[in-house]
Structure 1
Amino acid sequence: MAELNTGDGGGKKGGGKVRSKKQNSKVDLTAMVDLAFLLITFFMLTTSLSKPQSMNLGLPDKNNEDEPELDVKVDQRRTLTIILGDNDKIKWFHGLQATPEPGGAPADAVHGKDGIRLEILKRVKSVPETIGDPKKGLIVIIKPTKKSTYKNLVDILDEMAICAVPTYAIVNEFSDEEKALADKMNQ
C-alpha cells in the first residue's frame, strides 16, 4: 500500500506540559495510482497516431548477374516521355523522340493545371480511344536528369497520382536524342 508520512507529530521532549501525541497522517495513494494508469491506458488506446505519409512505389527485384536483362518494347502510341531538367524545367513528347507527332514536339511547361497535368489528362483520355482497347492505357516514362531535383521527381509522381495514370516508370537511361534534348534544356 502506498502511503504518505507527514512527520512524527509529537511535541517537545523532556519538559513542561504533557501533550497528547498526534497520530501520523496517512494518505492511501493506491487509488490515485490506479486512476493514473487507467487514464494513461485510456488515452493511449483512444488516440489515433499520425500515420506517415508515403508514396507507394512498386520497385522491380534486383537482377541476378546470371539472368540477362530483358529489353522491354512498348507501343509508341501509348507512351509519353517526360524529361526533368534543372531549374524546374520539364519537356515531354509523345512516342519516340526521333519521330515526334505533329504538334507533339517537346515544350516547356510548369506543373499544375495549366502545364503538364493538362497534357497528361488529355493523353489518359485519348490513348485508349486511339488504341481501341480500354484496357490499354497511357504509359508515362519519367526520365530525371542528374541536374533535376528530388522535389521535381516527387511533383511529377504526384501528377501521376492526380491524373490516375495506369502505368508509369522512372528510367535513368537516355537515347542519344534524349541526351541532346536534356543537354539543351539544362543550358
Structure 2
Amino acid sequence: MAELDTSGGGKHKGGKVRSKKASTRVDLTAMVDLAFLLITFFILTTTLQKPKAMDLTMPDKDDNHNQLPVPETRTMTVLLGKDNKLEWYMGLPQKPLTPPSVTNFGKAGIRESLIEQGKNVLAKSGKEMIVLIKPSDKSTYSDMVSMMDELNIVGNQQRAIVDISPMEVDLLKRDNIY
C-alpha cells in the first residue's frame, strides 16, 4: 500500500495559530490490481507464433506387398548432397535415361529441371512425374525442406523420400558433393 503524507510538520510554539490540515492518503492497491488484470488479459489474448509444420503422408511399414511397379521413364531421382548442392537423373542409377546433373536449389536450379522434365514425362506418358528424394548423410534438414518447397512450387504431388543406395553415394563422391 502506498501512502502520501502532506502534513505540515511538527508543532512550533509561538507564531500564528494555523488550522490543522488532515493528511492525504491515496490507496494504490486497486490500481495495481487493475494493472495485473490488464497484463494478464493481453498475455492471454495475444496470438502466439504458431509452429510451422510440413504435412507428410507416410505409408504403413507393414504394407509393402501393395506397391505398384513404377516405370523408370516417369521417375526422377534427386540426391541431396553437401553445401546446398544436389544431383538428379531420370531413370535407374545403373542406366540413367539422362546423365546425372549437379545443380542447386532455386529458380535456375532444380526448379527449372523439375518443370522441364515434368513436361517431358507428361507429354510422353500422359501422367505426372514421380520424384524420388534421397538425402545423404552430408545433406541438412533445410535441404530437405527446400526440396519439398521446390516440389510444391512446381505442383508435383507424386513424391517419395527414399534411402540412398551405396551406388548413389559413390555418384555424389565422384562429383564432390558428398
Give the TM bin, normalised by the shorter chain.
Answer: 0.7 to 0.9
Task: Give the alignment of 1:65-144 within 5 angstroms.
Answer: 67=62, 69-70=64-65, 72=67, 73-101=69-97, 104-132=98-126, 136-144=127-135
**Unaligned 5+ runs, structure 1:** none
User: Is contact 1:89–1:108 with CA below 8 Å preserved after alignment?
Assistant: yes
**How many positions carry a matched residue from both structures?**
174
Structure 2: which 5+ residue stretches go unaligned?
Answer: none
- Match of residue 23 from structure 2: 24
Q: 1:52 deviation in Å? A: 3.0
Q: Is the 8 A contact 1:82 1:91 kept in 2?
A: yes
Q: Does 1:169 align with 2:163?
A: no
TM-score between the two structures when normalised by the length of structure 2 = 0.74
Residue from 151, 161, 171 that aligns with 1:160: 151
Q: TM-score normalised to the size of structure 1?
A: 0.71
Aligned to 1:147: 138
Match of residue 184, structure 1, among 162, 174, 177 = 174
Alignment RMSD, CA only? 3.3
Q: Deviations over 1:148-182 (max 9, x none)?
A: 233322322221222221022221241x5424313
Report the identity percentage.
43
